Structure 1
Amino acid sequence: MANTIERDRIVEARGLNHWFGSGDARKQALFDIDLTLERGSFTVLMGPSGSGKTTLLTLIGCLRAVQDGTVRLMGHELNGASEADLTALRRRLGFIFQSHNLHESLTATQNVIMGVQVRGRVSDKLARQAAARALGLVGLSDRLDYRPGNLSGGQKQRVAVARALVGNPAMVLADEPTAALDKDSAADVIDLLKRLGAERGTTTLLVTHDNRILDRADRILTLEDGRIVATTEVS
């Protein structure tokens, strides 16, 4: 039973603290964060700007080094982990950001293929097939060869979502992914992530100020001044 429970915990953070700067300019950004994320769950991080949401997201996503406390990601301790181990873990994650960060000279398929390539070597044929499946998943099967300049804002963000999902990641970390989207496009993105949680066990941790999507979360964590001040379970 203990092993089953541990496998279901994608993230476990205990006593997590983080600082920026050094000397007199050193400032603490996170204070004694305790957090558990279960496999397949959809968790939203809320809070004012500067509260530590993105810092927490990047620590869990192996984009910053853990300084103090413990963070276990898919059973691997991040505090003190080697760069090779962190890189291997990042390849098992999907990242979505507010800015879609698409290459304007590449087609939708080619942009998504980049998400395949960062996860290891694969043939061009298999990469294209995986990209086409991911774009179909986000409703863009008829836009495979379109470049970003010929896509709407919502379609560009869907390409970015497909790029994050193409490797079937164990976890998706999203930073304000719906901020630039209209209501329907935002709902489509969130509903897709929810469906992946139910069908594939994909865990989502999403930073947002978007009140339109809160009712779709399983749990809402509120950060203020680097501390989790409220946890709300959404029925």
Structure 2
Amino acid sequence: MRNVPAITAEGLNHWFGTGEARKQAVFDVNLEIERGSLTILMGPSGSGKTTVLTLLGCLRDVQEGSVELLDTELNGAPEPLLVATRRRLGFIFQAHNLHESLSAEQNVLMGLQVHGKGDAHKQLEASRHVLGLVGLGDRMNYLPANLSGGQKQRVAVARALVSNPEVVFADEPTAALDKESGMTVVQMLKALGKTRGTTTVMVTHDNRILDMADRIIVLEEGRIVSDTRK
């Protein structure tokens, strides 16, 4: 029996604005994303890739068409179901969105506390472990103001991964990172796909990581123009 995809989109359309200012941004997107895969969305600025990412990731209401995420239909789903689905996901954005008054360790702990996973001791152990994986074992007690831009982004990555999400949605996660740090993050995501079946959907302009993708989807003007599997 064929594995059920992590994400299925059918006839996905999206508009911004109202009345005469209403403009279509996504046109008839259809795709299936396999569990455990690393899929990259690419395209020029304004191509709709981030809009598609947020629609697939339960961060924007589905206006027309179907998105099935982890066996949950998002179009018309009640808010409690959407909240429960988001708790199964991890998000990494170009803006790290750290709490400036909390240490690196405390910021990562929040990624577990919002999910209510594990007791306090296990949460602390998990947070320290994942910070070590991203090379910040010696920066756990640092406030964001005392971290570089790349270090802040690695804290954000650790926060997204600490709860072992089933799907990770990442929007330009390596933009603030040097080559070595960027490769480390993508290698972690790739490894999670192999060991835990974690699915990753990533928007990027970073040509350094394209060879690591299982699939590259290119969008232009809200339409899929290329879909390459490796």
Structure 2-normalised TM-score?
0.96
- Residue 89 of structure 2 aligns with which residue? 93
CA distance in 1, matches of 2:81, 2:126: 25
Over residues 63-94 of structure 1, what are the superposed CA-to-partner deviations in whole Å (9 max), with x where a residue is unaligned?
11111111100111011100110000001000
Whichever residue aligns with residue 147 of structure 1, its letter is L
- Residue 169 of structure 1 aligns with which residue? 165
- Whether 1:114 and 2:105 are equivalent positions in the alignment is no
Cα contact 2:117–2:163 (8 A) shared by 1: no
Structural RMSD (CA): 1.3
- Residue 23 of structure 1 aligns with which residue? 19
Whichever residue aligns with residue 102 of structure 1, its letter is L
CA distance in 2, matches of 1:151, 1:192: 21
5+ residue gaps, structure 2, are none
- Whether 1:231 and 2:209 are equivalent positions in the alignment is no
- Whether 1:41 and 2:37 are equivalent positions in the alignment is yes
TM-aligned CA deviation for residue 192 of structure 1: 1.1
TM-aligned CA deviation for residue 189 of structure 1: 1.1
Cα contact 2:117–2:123 (8 A) shared by 1: no
- Residue 147 of structure 2 aligns with which residue? 151
Structure 1-normalised TM-score?
0.94
| Deviation beyond 6 Å, 4+ runs, structure 1 | none
CA distance in 2, matches of 1:43, 1:70: 19
**Matching of residues 103-142 of structure 1 within 5 Å:** 103-120=99-116, 123-142=119-138
CA distance in 1, matches of 2:41, 2:140: 32
Deviates more, 1:46-55 or 1:117-126: 117-126
- Residue 197 of structure 1 aligns with which residue? 193
- Residue 3 of structure 2 aligns with which residue? 5
CA distance in 2, matches of 1:51, 1:202: 26
